[in-house]
Structure 1
């Protein structure tokens, strides 16, 4: 017996699964007309956004520290199973070796996304004797991330 309709809970959990966040790299020739290529084998992609802390305390603050945000930065820590011939991972490795910045897209589960330019500041290949080979890297932002944009179809998935 096949079912096509299922009841939905009224108090639906708003949590999202980490597996549904994806990292793409622009393998096209321009930023204006990107070719988004998935970095294959992703296990994690941790987006970090920070601001420097500027001390704005003074003698009248009652002994409490006061801070204001300074320069902001972002980075993406990435770990992927190393898939031989994966175009996205190969592009990242080539960019690292050539010392080039990459145009990246960080996609949310609802297909909305942010984009930005980054420098691959770490690119490591781990090859344990008892596990799969993994590619690990850190993409350090070069300027701001874009505002969140609505999802669109990918030219290459």
Structure 2
């Protein structure tokens, strides 16, 4: 008989942050229609947010309570990277920032919702504490409506 160790059965699948990665559409013959997804190396975080401006509809007949509807929507992506000077995709981010050009990015989720959009780079901040790795924080604002896909295959394969 073979010795085995029982494994706990998962009651629900949870998305781990380590399974969310950001890719830049960059490479030979890359285009919006035929993307070449290149991983941004050194990632520590890939935070995505979607929001809507508030349209205040409160009037004198609102019985003292506010009333609002969602207005113009916007998206933002914030990526934190350990600085790796040889990373070509990160060099391309810097080049796009300097040229005021938007970048085409994929925030890929291994088992969840992946988001593709064009983004304007609004901030690139590099910190270098004496007792930590040098970190590049990149803030990006979405341009238009994002495209989403559930269970997208790994772009590296």
Report the TM-score, using the length of structure 2 for normalisation: 0.87
Contact map agreement 2:119 2:143 (CA 8 A) in 1: yes
1:7 corresponds in structure 2 to 7
CA distance in 1, matches of 2:3, 2:38: 35
Within a 5 Å distance, the mapping from 1:1-157 to structure 2 comes to 7-9=7-9, 12-28=11-27, 29-110=30-111, 112-154=113-155, 156=156
Q: Which runs of 5+ in 2 are unaligned?
A: none
Q: 1:3 deviation in Å?
A: 8.0
Secondary structure, counterpart of 2:97 in structure 1: helix
CA distance in 2, matches of 1:63, 1:153: 51
Secondary structure, counterpart of 1:146 in structure 2: strand
CA distance in 2, matches of 1:6, 1:116: 43
* Runs of 4+ displaced beyond 3 Å: 2-6
Aligned pairs, number = 154
Q: 1:147 deviation in Å?
A: 2.8
Q: Which runs of 5+ in 1 are unaligned?
A: none
CA distance in 2, matches of 1:6, 1:90: 47
Secondary structure, counterpart of 1:19 in structure 2: helix
CA distance in 2, matches of 1:153, 1:17: 15
Contact map agreement 2:81 2:137 (CA 8 A) in 1: yes
Secondary structure, counterpart of 1:64 in structure 2: coil
CA distance in 1, matches of 2:124, 2:73: 23
Q: 1:16 deviation in Å?
A: 2.1
